[in-house]
Amino acid sequence: MLEATTAEKDVKRKGLHYLNIREQLTGYLFILPAFLIIFIFGLFPIAYSIYMSLFDWGIVKGKFVADKNYIMIFGSWKNLLIILVGVGLLIAAEWVWKKAFRSNKNGEMIAKLLGAVVLLAGGGLFVTGWMQMAESGNAQFLNSLIVTLYYALGTVPAEIILGMVLAYILYQEIVGKEIFRMLYFLPYVTPSVTTAVVFQIIFSSRDTSLANRLIGWFGADPLKWRFEPKPFLNLLGINLKGFLAGPSLALISIMLYGIWSFVGYNTVIFLAGLGNIPKETYEAAEIDGASKWDMFKNITMPLLSPVTFYLTLIAFIGTFKAFNHIYVMRTPSAGVSVVTASLMIFDRFYKANQYGVATAQAIVLFLIILGLTFAQNKLMSDKVFYG
């Protein structure tokens, strides 16, 4: 009897084992199509780009050059190390500012003072490393990163703020709000090349262009817009140099297109977020005497913080990869003032046929986007309110 019971247990154990294997194989078969797509169109191109960046690759594969293409960008690994140490100190400053010495009675003051010292040290090292890199590295690619940063800082905040405000307005009971929702979303779904050509005409340097006519109503002289390489602040009489001079007027013209194109998308996403906020919350606030502004500031904005975090994250990633409309709207006379990192990589790859250099630059841009995404996630995730 005992032997029969033991045999039955062995059979059941084997059956469960085979069943478990079958379930695992079924699960792997379900995820296999998605894995193949991600591998073929995502992981493999990245791996092959890293492989190409290690060679002097022109139209055909050349000799193995190891890290030469990367040294051309940074000038030397020492310059990169200085920048990375600076970034590390900036991260450490943020940690010290928030979490260090909290158990001490005067811990908050000590943490802020020490955090400020570490912040200054990190900023100094970063600027030093960047200046050395600009002198000995690839100045054109480094300048394209600055132009990309201008573009991101000039478009993302405007897109987020305008999208939230428009969503809040369209969420109210106004006549024809469905039509307005469709009109605001239309720029996002319209082909970017087509609309960029329209913006070419709007921001033409001719006196009769729509943009020049518009500023003419305010008594301003005609501008070159997309053809102007000078920083916008210099045109206003503010003579700053270097990074503080800001973006060129040509780049601002392209920024306006980016804002116009993506505000509608942000508006629709914010509208979806507003739909998840209980109306009872607004009703209770209204009974307590809260104004429209109080409700927007203390209810709408905090409860929309997950949506804001998501849109900000993908917007920064999108701006660093932006290509189509910038390629269409740029002009030779604007020079390098409108050449973002993605355009620089494209020109190196297709016009100069420097495949090894282009892929090295693409890998650097990929790592920068990855680092910025991680930094945004660390800095903003604590401020997100999930209700």
Q: How confident is the model at residue 253 (pLDDT cuts 50, 70, 90)?
A: very high
Of the given ranges (81-95, 166-180, 319-333, 372-386), which has the lowest mean pLDDT? 372-386
The predicted pLDDT at position 1 comes to 47
Q: Which has more confidence, 8 or 159?
A: 159
CATH architecture of 138-381: Orthogonal Bundle (1.10)
pLDDT, average across residues 363-379 = 87
Residues 6+ away with beta carbon under 8 Å from 138:
72, 73, 361
The predicted pLDDT at position 169 comes to 86
Task: 210-219: list long-range contacts, CB under 8 Å, 24+ apart.
Answer: 211/253
Give the integer Cα–Cα distance in Å for 79 and 126. 9
Provide the residue ranges of all domains of the chain, joining segments of one domain with +: 138-381
34, pLDDT greater than 60: yes
What separation in angstroms does the CA of 241 have from each of 155, 246, 337? 22, 8, 14
Q: Which has more confidence, 385 or 276?
A: 276
Tokens of 379: 């800095």
Residues 6+ away with beta carbon under 8 Å from 169:
none
257, pLDDT greater than 50: yes
pLDDT, average across residues 80-88 = 91
For the stretch 195-247, pLDDT in tens is: 999 999 999 888 888 999 998 898 888 888 899 898 888 888 788 887 888 89
Tokens of 248: 């060129």
- Count the Cβ atoms, other than its own, within 10 Å of residue 155: 25
266, pLDDT greater than 50: yes
Query: Residue 99 CA to chain centroid, in angstroms?
Result: 28
Residue pointed to by tokens 């802020």: 112
Within 13 A of 361's CA, how many CA atoms are on the CB side? 28
- Count the Cβ atoms, other than its own, within 10 Å of residue 252: 20
For the stretch 102-119, pLDDT in tens is: 566 666 677 778 878 888
Give the integer Cα–Cα distance in Å for 362 and 167. 36
Query: Torsion over CA of 174, 268, 308 and 312, rounded to 10 degrees?
Result: -140
pLDDT, average across residues 22-34 = 88
pLDDT, average across residues 322-336 = 89
Give the integer Cα–Cα distance in Å for 127 and 122. 9
The single-letter code of the amino acid at 158 is A
251, pLDDT greater than 90: yes
Q: How confident is the model at residue 2 (pLDDT cuts 50, 70, 90)?
A: very low
β-bridge mates for residue 55, sequence order: 64
What separation in angstroms does the CA of 204 have from each of 66, 150, 153, 198? 46, 22, 24, 10
187, pLDDT greater than 80: yes
What percentage of residues in the chain have a pLDDT greater than 70? Answer: 92
The predicted pLDDT at position 47 comes to 92
Residues 6+ away with beta carbon under 8 Å from 61:
55
3-class DSSP assignment, residue 231: strand
Tokens of 137: 């590295």
What percentage of residues in the chain have a pLDDT greater than 90? Answer: 29
Within 13 A of 147's CA, how many CA atoms are on the CB side? 31
The predicted pLDDT at position 384 comes to 74
What pTM value is reported for the model? 0.86
The predicted pLDDT at position 24 comes to 85
Give the integer Cα–Cα distance in Å for 126 and 93. 14
Inter-residue contact 150 to 337 (CB < 8 Å): no
The predicted pLDDT at position 9 comes to 61
Residues 6+ away with beta carbon under 8 Å from 134:
142
The predicted pLDDT at position 82 comes to 92
pLDDT, average across residues 181-187 = 85
Within 13 A of 183's CA, how many CA atoms are on the CB side? 7
What separation in angstroms does the CA of 108 have from each of 65, 84, 100, 101, 298? 51, 27, 8, 7, 27
The predicted pLDDT at position 160 comes to 93
174: left (phi over 0), alpha (psi -120 to 50) or beta: beta
For the chain, the residue count is 387
For the stretch 267-301, pLDDT in tens is: 989 988 888 888 888 888 888 888 888 888 888 88
16, pLDDT greater than 90: no
Nearest to 383 by CA among 316, 314, 301: 301
Give the sign of the dihedral formed by CA 74, CA 77, CA 83, CA 84.
positive
359, pLDDT greater than 90: yes
37, pLDDT greater than 70: yes
Q: Which has more confidence, 172 or 53?
A: 53
